Structure 1
């Protein structure tokens, strides 16, 4: 190498540049597997969430679509509870197998209904056909009387109120008339109730099977308490219904008010609806009484207040000691809400549904307190 010459320094070749990675969370998101990767837990977690929300929406839509058969099934459960209560009561006096006792109760119910319609069916059907035009004529008379005394109620408003009243009891009077659809529905409910009452323990175990194993003992206890509550509620209601219907029909017949038999049957059925049923039967009794003359109208009012006094001061306090105690305002609010949402059947089932909900919420609260203690 010649003196004075410098050897050039060869610089190493620069390595291929890597793209600069974005710092922080973006790098984490790129490195982590996404929901599209089916083998990851994130995918199945998101899928479960989606399925749960879709199931909730589908269940809500299904309830809206099938609300009428659901209410019929609930009505069958209520009837089954009543049959079961009668079977248990009969067992205190007649120590025979449960199936025979249930058969006696069902036969008695069928015989009573058949006897009632056989002896009074024609008269009740004729009276039921005469009731709607009679009430409409009474509404017109009330409107004319109010206008004559300077009260501008308007015939349209009163007629609308009368139509709403008739609409409220329309299905009740249809049961007493020749409504084949309603009768067939009642028969189906009774048959389903008989099946439920025959194998009550089987269906109770089936409901408890839907609960996790660790909670099944609590589920059995809850089902027993709900059944006990419904039996007491329906027993008290049935006693009040029979007393109200019998007293109303007998007193109206004694005072000479027409359609006494029909009004007694309607009072019996409407007594199933506390608060609202008494008001509806009172309005019907008063309108029918005043359709004859003023004297029979006052007789009808007297009969209504007499029956309500006997029921309020003698029957209800006696039955309430053994039945379920629920606040009247809560019961009335539930009836208004269920009646507006589901019609006459929802109105009839508001009380049992409220009683079941009350028991379930109370037992859930007790369990939480016990777990925290």
Structure 2
């Protein structure tokens, strides 16, 4: 008994959907059990996208791609070497001092809470250790190497950093080799579409990184200027951690304000209020100026979906999953839209709800 064309089409779509669901389930299992290796690989792709974007910028000035990549590699290595040999010791010393100041301030804050809260709550606060409060705020030592707490071991952090760096260099130097290898894994009739999806995913990742780079630089510059003007201690480090945390959408900006306020409290309540004012200005600039400008070129992701994916990845994979959840989602959204929504379902709904 032969199937009609509609029945055959339905069977094909059913098998395709089941295959996609099965592949996603297997992918999640592999991702869970090999999370460390996966995030190292994905981090190298993110860095490769950064290198590629910088080389494309140089190409707009007439610099050939290969020469542009060499320049980008040398500048990156020079920056790492300069940080390690010239400013590294100073930054580590200041970071230790900042961390100690935050710890002392957290102790004073708990003592103050113990004095103003009701008796029952007061006993619980007095029983808290400083480390308990520290778990609710960012570790100042994690400003420079926070990813190592989740994916990299302390001893292997530097090694993994250079693994990511050199993997990114290999990928971006000959991207066509890896692209052709990936596309060749699919049937011939699907290869053109897979190639389109791969290119669109890479473009989406580059655009997202462009938007984040604009936000990070703006937050760092405005934070440093504002904290310097009010004479906040450790202004550079506080601005640096605020700029780095801007890479983590939604929650990164909220977390960045905690060290600023606590550092201000170590000086005086007035300094804490001034620091809070600077933080409010920073968020105003980012929300009303930087983000709209960045979204003109960069990929815009729904805030609720962004936060949900961050929380899920953070719970399952730790800090590395939390940090890399959004760029990974930017890539997956393109893959799902092109290969599933458009090719399997026939397209999604428009803004008016029409499909």
Q: 1:82 to 1:156 in 2, by over 3 A?
A: farther
Structure 2 counterpart of 1:172: 143
Unaligned runs of 5+ residues in structure 2 are: 1-22, 149-153, 348-354
1:144 — aligned with what? Answer: 111
Q: 1:368 aligns with which of 344, 348, 351?
A: 344
Q: Which of these residues, 74, 78, 82, is aligned with residue 107 of structure 1?
A: 74
196-205 vs 57-66, which deviates more?
A: 57-66
Residues 250, 158 of structure 1: alpha-carbon distance in 2 compared, 3 angstrom cutoff: farther
The RMSD of aligned alpha carbons is 2.8
Distance 1:167 1:247, change over 3 A: closer
Written as runs of structure 1 = structure 2, the 5 A alignment for 1:189-208 is: 189-208=164-183
CA contact (8 A) 2:114 2:126 kept: no
Does 2:220 match 1:245? yes
Scaled by the length of structure 2, the TM-score of the pair is 0.81
Task: Give the Cα separation in 1 of the matches to 2:249 and 2:146.
Answer: 20
Residue matched to 1:124: 91
Deviation at 1:262, TM superposition (A): 1.3
What's the counterpart of residue 87 of structure 1?
A: 55
List aligned pairs for 1:23-62, cutoff 5 A. Answer: 62=30
Deviations 1:141-180 (A, max 9, x none): 2222223223536144574552214566654344699x65
Q: Is the 8 A contact 2:96 2:141 kept in 1?
A: no
Structure 2 Cα separation of the partners of residues 337 and 246 of structure 1: 31
Give the corresponding residue for 1:45. Answer: none
Over alpha carbons, which structure has the higher Rg?
1
Partner of 1:278: 253
Q: Does 2:157 align with 1:182?
A: yes
Residues 56-108 of structure 1 deviation map (CA, whole Å, 9 limit, x = unaligned): 99976654332101110010011111111111121111242x21111111222
Greater relative contact order (Cα < 8 A, sep 6+): 2
> Against the structure 1 CA distance between its residues 176 and 208, is the aligned structure 2 distance closer, same or farther, given a 3 Å change threshold?
closer
Which consecutive residues of structure 1, in runs of 5 or more, have no partner in the other structure?
1-54
Report if aligned partners of 1:135, 1:162 keep a CA contact under 8 Å in 2: no
Structure 1 segments of 4+ aligned residues over 6 angstroms from their partners: 55-60
For the residue of structure 2 that corresponds to 1:368, the secondary structure is coil
Does residue 39 of structure 2 align to residue 66 of structure 1? no
Is 1:288 the equivalent of 2:266?
no
Hey, what does 2:134 align to over in structure 1? Answer: 163
- Mapped to 2, the partners of 1:329 and 1:85 lie a distance apart of 28
